Amino acid sequence: MRRIRFPELSDTSSSPPILAQRLANRLAVSEPVVEATIPKKLGGLVLTRHLGESLMVGDDVLIEVVGLKSGTARLKIVAPRTIAVHRREVYDEIRTNPQSDRFLRPEPTEVAPAPPTDRPLKAKGGLVLTRNVFQSIMIGDEVELTVVEVRSTTVKIKIVAPRTVSVHRREVYEAIQGDRG
């Protein structure tokens, strides 16, 4: 580690605001510094997934990485129709304008339940959303997925969920289900 010395800051007789101003003057640059406008939330789980890998949120929601390209991740979300899945900006719009007809969901029709099978969960259909770094997806009102980093073959996804909601890599989820059954 390299140390940088600031001789003008070694005077301990100066008050802290003066020291801070001296440091600011010393570190001043000719170009303006752009501050991040993305709010930072504490907590959450960050998982790295490769292309084609997936994760489970609870027992009903599957998130699969279906595409990665230059800072953009395509995520396929398979969830029951009773669970709302929205991009964060749409979710915020719904929360601020609950009377808007733009986001009304049609009433679900009666569908016969699927027969139980012993096969592992297979994703059929689903919603595919494209998210850039630091863009989010809301699942219901409590679970938020945020794309943290995108590389050529991997994506880091931050999941913020209540402690009562289980979040697992799909292979771990299937191992747990195998142990139970």
Distances (CA, A) of 177 to 32, 57, 113, 139: 53, 14, 21, 22
- Characterize 48-71 residue by residue with b for buried, 16 or more Cβ atoms within 10 angstroms of its Cβ, and e for exposed: ebeeebbbbbbeebbbbbbebeee
User: What total number of domains does the chain contain?
Assistant: 1
Instruction: For 78-90, write each residue's pLDDT tens digit.
Output: 999 899 999 999 9
Instruction: For 6-49, write each residue's pLDDT tens digit.
Output: 555 455 555 556 655 655 565 554 433 333 344 555 678 999 99
Cα 45 to chain centroid, rounded: 9
Asked if the structure places residue 171 within a domain, the reply is yes
Asked if the structure places residue 160 within a domain, the reply is yes
Asked if the structure places residue 19 within a domain, the reply is no
Asked if the structure places residue 68 within a domain, the reply is yes
Asked if the structure places residue 110 within a domain, the reply is no
Per mean pLDDT, which range of 97-101, 120-124, 161-165 is the poorest?
Answer: 120-124
Instruction: For 123-175, write each residue's pLDDT tens digit.
Output: 467 899 999 999 999 999 999 999 999 999 999 999 999 999 999 999 999 99
Cα 10 to chain centroid, rounded: 44
Distances (CA, A) of 100 to 94, 95, 96, 137: 8, 10, 9, 20
**Structural domain span for residue 52:** 45-100+121-180
- Characterize 109-129 residue by residue with b for buried, 16 or more Cβ atoms within 10 angstroms of its Cβ, and e for exposed: eeeeeeeeeeeebeeeebeeb
Asked if the structure places residue 143 within a domain, the reply is yes
Overall size of the chain counted in residues:
181
Asked if the structure places residue 9 within a domain, the reply is no
Asked if the structure places residue 80 within a domain, the reply is yes
